[in-house]
Chain A
Amino acid sequence: MALIDLANPTRFLSLSRSLLPWLTGLCVLAFAVGLYMSFFVAPEDYQQGDTVRIMYIHVPAAWLAMMCYSIMALSSLGTLVWKHPLADVSAKAAAPLGAAFTFMSLITGSLWGKPMWGTYWVWDARLTSVLVLFIMYLGLMALWRTMEDPIKAGKAAAVLTLVGALNLPIIKFSVDWWNTLHQPASVMRMDGPTIHPDILWPLLVMALAFTLLFFVLHLMAMQNEILRRRVMALRQRAAAIRPATATASTASAAAE
């Protein structure tokens, strides 16, 4: 099935309805395995001790924060370039999820930072650029709410999303381009991960769990947005019919 086949909202609703139970089941299983590995399999870190266990939620949340914005950027291209009918639905549905993952990343990072760095926050490049990402998510959510017409709102949001996508490589390479307190990349590196497998595997399983969670929530939020637009269209039709019937009743009463 090509992406264009999913342009039909009814077809998308049907497909997502059959996919969701499987994705939800896999997500729950991944979290169960991931949390078990994070607490009962992974050892303490020789420097961080048990505080390393915060990394099993902080790192996946940060990855998802960026992945979500990437999906929004691709959706925005779909809106502006290919005019895919569900592209702006996808982008709008993803924004609150991305904001939530970014928030989790910032909070867990702060809670890890206090015992490890001695501070909840520093204005270094990585933390500041992720905070900017969080503010951008909130701005996009606000922009959608300012316009009643979802199509116009989708186009405006698509442009802003694409401009904001410049922040993604800044976040990724901030630890290389500037002197930062935040450590450099340990997993996604050209020469491979530098983390021991005992800590890497629980991290990857939790990342899978978070990714599945995102897709479950994203599909559900897209379904809701499609239904919301249906309700809006039906209410507009109802409003158009009512004055017409009222006018017809008035005219026939006057004729009598």
Chain B
Amino acid sequence: MDLIAFLDLGPHAAFILWSYGICVAVVAGLIAWVRVDRARQDAALRELEAQGIGRRSTQRTDA
């Protein structure tokens, strides 16, 4: 199947394209969710560190 044939997905092409489009959107949403959540947690940890609140294990190492 070449590129020209790929563009012709038959009489139900809209259903095929919507299916793949929705899946791409859902996967993109999941990736965005984990990355945004990670950025939030990293920011919160940096803020706590700036206030001098750290984990006991790191403070013992520093001492």
Most buried by A among B2, B6, B18, B30: B30
Q: How many residues of B contact A (CB 8 A)?
A: 35
What 0/1 readout, one digit per residue, does chain B (24-55) give for beta carbons within 8 Å of chain A?
A: 00110111011101100110110010010111
What 0/1 readout, one digit per residue, does chain A (78-108) give for beta carbons within 8 Å of chain B?
A: 0000000000000000001100100110011
B30 touches A58 (CB 8 A): no
Partner pick for A223 among B15, B38, B55, CB 8 A cutoff: B38
B30 touches A49 (CB 8 A): no
A54 touches B45 (CB 8 A): no
A224 touches B23 (CB 8 A): no
Give the distance in Å from the alpha carbon of A115 to the alpha carbon of B10 in the complex: 11
Secondary structure class of chain A's binding surface, majority of residues = helix
A115 touches B48 (CB 8 A): no
Q: Interface of B with A (CB < 8 Å)?
A: 1-2, 6, 9-13, 15-16, 18-20, 22-23, 26-27, 29-31, 33-35, 37-38, 41-42, 44-45, 48, 51, 53-55, 57
B26 touches A224 (CB 8 A): no
Give the distance in Å from the alpha carbon of A115 to the alpha carbon of B18 in the complex: 13
Partner pick for A213 among B19, B27, B29, B54, CB 8 A cutoff: B27
Secondary structure class of chain B's binding surface, majority of residues = helix
Q: How many residues of A contact B (CB 8 A)?
A: 39
Give every chain B residue within 8 A of A53 (Cβ-Cβ). 9, 16
Interface check A50, CB cutoff 8 A: yes
Give every chain A residue within 8 A of B42 (Cβ-Cβ). 227
Interface check A177, CB cutoff 8 A: no
B38 touches A112 (CB 8 A): no
A51 touches B16 (CB 8 A): yes
Partner pick for B44 among A40, A104, A107, A231, CB 8 A cutoff: A231
Partner pick for A224 among B16, B37, B54, B55, CB 8 A cutoff: B37
Instruction: Name the residue on A nearest B8 (C-beta).
Output: A50
What 0/1 readout, one digit per residue, does chain A (234-247) give for beta carbons within 8 Å of chain B?
A: 11011001000000
Minimum distance in angstroms from A209 CB to a CB of chain B:
11
Give the distance in Å from the alpha carbon of A57 to the alpha carbon of B34 in the complex: 22
Give the distance in Å from the alpha carbon of A104 to the alpha carbon of B51 in the complex: 43
B26 touches A50 (CB 8 A): no
B12 touches A103 (CB 8 A): no
Interface check A220, CB cutoff 8 A: yes
Give every chain B residue within 8 A of A97 (Cβ-Cβ). 30
A51 touches B12 (CB 8 A): yes
A107 touches B22 (CB 8 A): yes
Partner pick for A107 among B19, B41, B45, CB 8 A cutoff: B19
What 0/1 readout, one digit per residue, does chain A (146-173) give for beta carbons within 8 Å of chain B?
A: 0000000000000000000000000000
